[in-house]
């Protein structure tokens, strides 16, 4: 019998019940809503996602500039809970569909392309995730209320503009 496969299947079911799986899961919602974007700079043919040696003496000491064909683009999101007193971080990468959660420096959850690779449940970090997720839901509700309000204002402005044009054109 393959015990690891049985454990993986059981953990996958548990992760799905807890709402962790996928880009619509709790981890991604937290990272997108209250996290920061992970930005990559480069062009279609060359990505500059490497670190330079800061101690190496630079003879030219020129400030690097972007080429006109280069762009910056979002490749994912990251959330760091240290500012909230929680030693937890979440990394989400869109292009790989990869989600990684760290608790006290150790990987406690990892998913890649919809496939669960690691999940080590623990009451401490799961309670933190649930607290953060509740905050995220409140923020999303407030944002949707504000965006709906803005849309209503735009609709009213458009309506008044159309009525004004009809009055001018047809004298109504």
59 part of a folded domain? no
Q: Phi, psi (5° rounding) for residue 153?
A: -65, -40
57 part of a folded domain? no
Task: Label residues 80-116 b or e (16+ Cβ within 10 Å = b).
Answer: bbeeeebebbbbbeeeebebbbbbeeeebbbbeeeeb
pLDDT at 49: 54
pLDDT at 110: 96
13 part of a folded domain? yes
Instruction: Work out how many domains the chain is built from and give that number.
Output: 1
113 part of a folded domain? yes
pLDDT at 90: 95
DSSP annotation of 56: S
7 part of a folded domain? yes
Ramachandran assignment for 114, one of left (phi > 0), alpha (psi -120 to 50 degrees), beta (any other): left
Compute mean pLDDT per 10 residues along the chain, 172 residues long, and list them: 87 93 92 89 58 59 64 87 91 91 94 92 94 90 81 86 85 73
Collapsing DSSP to helix, strand or coil, 108 comes out as strand
91 part of a folded domain? yes
Range of the domain at 95: 3-48+66-170
55 part of a folded domain? no
53 part of a folded domain? no
DSSP annotation of 68: T
The reply to whether the predicted model has a pTM over 0.85 is: no
Among 83, 102, 84, residue whose Cα is nearest residue 92: 102
């Amino acid at each position: 019998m393959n015990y690891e496969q049985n454990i993986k299947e059981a953990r996958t079911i548990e992760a799905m019940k807890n709402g962790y799986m996928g880009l619509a899961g709790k981890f991604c919602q937290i990272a997108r809503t209250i996290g920061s974007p992970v930005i990559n700079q480069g062009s279609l043919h060359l990505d500059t996602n490497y670190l330079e040696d800061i101690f190496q003496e630079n003879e030219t000491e020129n400030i690097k500039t972007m080429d006109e064909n280069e762009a910056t683009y979002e490749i994912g999101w990251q959330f760091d809970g240290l500012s909230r007193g929680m030693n937890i971080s979440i990394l989400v990468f869109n292009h790989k569909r990869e989600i990684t959660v760290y608790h006290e420096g150790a990987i406690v959850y990892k998913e890649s392309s919809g496939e669960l690779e690691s999940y080590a449940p623990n009451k401490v970090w799961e309670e933190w995730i649930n607290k953060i997720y509740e905050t995220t839901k409140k923020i999303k509700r407030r944002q949707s209320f504000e965006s709906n309000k803005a849309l209503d204002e735009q609709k009213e402005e458009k309506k008044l503009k159309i009525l004004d044009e009809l009055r001018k054109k047809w004298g109504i």
